[in-house]
Amino acid sequence: MIKAAMTEGIANKHDQATESHRQLYKTWAQGGAAVLITGNIMIDRRYLERAGNVVVESEDSLGELSLWAKTVESEGCQLWAQISHPGRQCPRLVNTKPLSASDIQLKLASNFAKPRAASLEDINDIIQRFATTAAILQKSGFHGVQIHSAHGYLLSQFLSPVTNQRTDDYGGSLENRARLLLDVVRAVRAAVGKEFPISVKLNSSDFQKGGFTLEESKQVVLWLNELNVDLLEISGGTYEQLEFFKKSFEQGDSSGMRKSTIKREAFFLEYAREIQAIAQMPIMVTGGFRSVEGMENALQSGDTDAIGLARPFCIDPKFPKKMMNGELKEISDMDSQLKLGDGFWGPTSRSKSIQALNNQTQAGWYYHQIELLAKGKPSDSDFFPRKALFSHLRKDFTRALKRKFA
């Protein structure tokens, strides 16, 4: 079992890791996972996924990073850093002039400004920043890095025809659209050496009309085969099409899970099956696993080499040990506990706005659980979801102001 990345949002006003990160990851390390992957660690202070992200640009924060990395070692697990650039998915609170592959705006609750197309100078800077951040994290004692090229972040924006309408060497054909990702992987490998683990998180599909497809994803994997990648995490969707959140609403209550549910509980297994057939590196599938039987079936079938889980760590951080000890056969998430039905603000099919509001409410609820664990407190499964949304919005606004005037 591997804890997949979840954004924490608990950095200080200088975008540095804090004691809260150490407490949070100590708690998760005690749960028994083999590897913990951090949430977005940003490569550029100008562009964040949200206020509260950790940023690693220089060795100024090496001390705090080293303490964070050491937190998990006594529990026998590893800490890998997810390194990322949000591209156009940088909120207005952080930057009103984000950059992307092209100037295609993310129209979601007016929260994101129109980006400018990255220049060749920007692209070279981005490549170098990924390499620099990875090298600093290696020096600080992290055990690996994951390059985020999924969920509509910058590298994913270059891959998708929807967001990449360039006509230069980084646009048009898939070979050109994949160039930035492959250049980043090469630069990171050169910076950290042959033995340091590098993972790539890649969409199996964007699930958008005209977007990045499964067939294109498979071709990118063939190119990654040549670059000494140690782990490939399969995911999917973008901010405009959050497949992992949408499916959680569709599944609803998972108590008394039936065989048919077990068969489909991992969102991306059917895509991973096709990718596994050509991948030369281990595959991790993240999204939807909830039962021991479902996880064992996925591993025994050979569709995945590792089980990635995220949100369940927010509710019961020790569930991996419980499962491996035979104390727990199935885990539930907030959807089943709260019996959401059609969602917090109405059916997700009603409109894009309702879908976005439901997604943000669910995310806010999990952010609240992360904040509790980071304070050394137990999670609170009874916390009211709509209250969580407004709490999340208020805190992100406050964090953005504090870092602006720091």
pLDDT category at 269 given cuts 50, 70, 90 is confident
Position 95 scores a pLDDT of 96
State what percent of residues in the chain have pLDDT above 90: 73
Q: Is the pLDDT of residue 256 over 50?
A: no
Q: What is the pLDDT of residue 310?
A: 94
pLDDT tier for residue 224 given thresholds of 50, 70 and 90: very high
| pLDDT given at position 255 | 36
pLDDT at 363: 87
Which range has the worst mean pLDDT, 48-62, 143-157, 263-277, 376-390? Answer: 263-277
Q: Is the pLDDT of residue 239 over 70?
A: no
Nearest to 378 by CA among 31, 32, 27, 75: 27
Q: Are 40 and 82 spatial neighbours (Cβ–Cβ below 8 Å)?
A: yes
More confident residue, 242 or 106: 106
What would the mean pLDDT of 97-102 be, rounded to a whole number?
Answer: 97
| Bridge partners for 241 per DSSP | 238
Q: Provide the pLDDT for residue 338.
A: 45
71-75, 227-231, 293-297, 354-358: which has the minimum mean pLDDT? 354-358
pLDDT at 329 over 80: yes
Q: Give me the mean pLDDT over the 54-78 stretch.
A: 95
Averaged over 85-92, what is the pLDDT?
96
- On average, the pLDDT of the chain sits at 89
Query: What is the model's pLDDT at position 369?
Result: 95
Span 290-325, pLDDT tens digits: 999 999 999 999 999 999 999 999 999 999 999 999
Whether 339 shows a pLDDT value over 90: the answer reads: no
Provide the pLDDT for residue 254. Answer: 36
Cβ neighbour number for residue 300 with a 10 Å cutoff: 8
Identify the band that residue 85 occupies on the pLDDT scale cut at 50, 70 and 90: very high
For position 394, what pLDDT does the model report?
93
- pLDDT attached to residue 9: 96
CA R_g for the chain? 20
Q: Are 138 and 201 in contact (CB under 8 A)?
A: no
Give the number of other Cβ atoms within 10 Å of residue 322's Cβ. Answer: 16
Q: Provide the pLDDT for residue 225.
A: 98
Helix (H, G, I), strand (E, B) or coil at 84: strand
Q: What is the mean pLDDT of residues 395-402?
A: 93
Q: Is 340's pLDDT higher than 70? A: no
Q: Tell me how far apart the alpha carbons of residues 154 and 189 are, in angstroms, rounded to a whole number.
A: 19
pLDDT per position as a tens digit, 156-194: 999 999 999 999 999 999 999 999 999 999 999 999 999
How are beta strands 35-37 and 2-3 bridged, if at all?
A: parallel
Determine which of 203-212, 214-223, 269-278 has the lowest per-residue pLDDT on average. 203-212
- Taking alpha carbons only, the member of 6, 80, 65 closest to residue 368 is 6
User: Which CATH number is 2-404 given?
Assistant: 3.20.20.70
Q: According to the model, what pLDDT value does residue 242 have?
A: 53
Q: Is the pLDDT of residue 343 over 80?
A: no
- Annotated domain spans of the chain: 2-404
Angle made by CA atoms 172, 119, 158, in degrees to the nearest 5? 40
pLDDT > 60? residue 261:
no
**Local confidence band at 359 (pLDDT 50, 70, 90 cut-offs):** confident
Question: What's the mean pLDDT in 120-141?
Answer: 98
Condensed to tens digits (0 to 9), the pLDDT of residues 7-63 reads 999 999 999 999 999 999 999 999 999 999 999 999 999 999 999 999 999 999 899
Give the single-character DSSP code of 110.
T
Q: Pseudo-torsion of CA 347, 161, 272, 355, nearest 10°?
A: -10
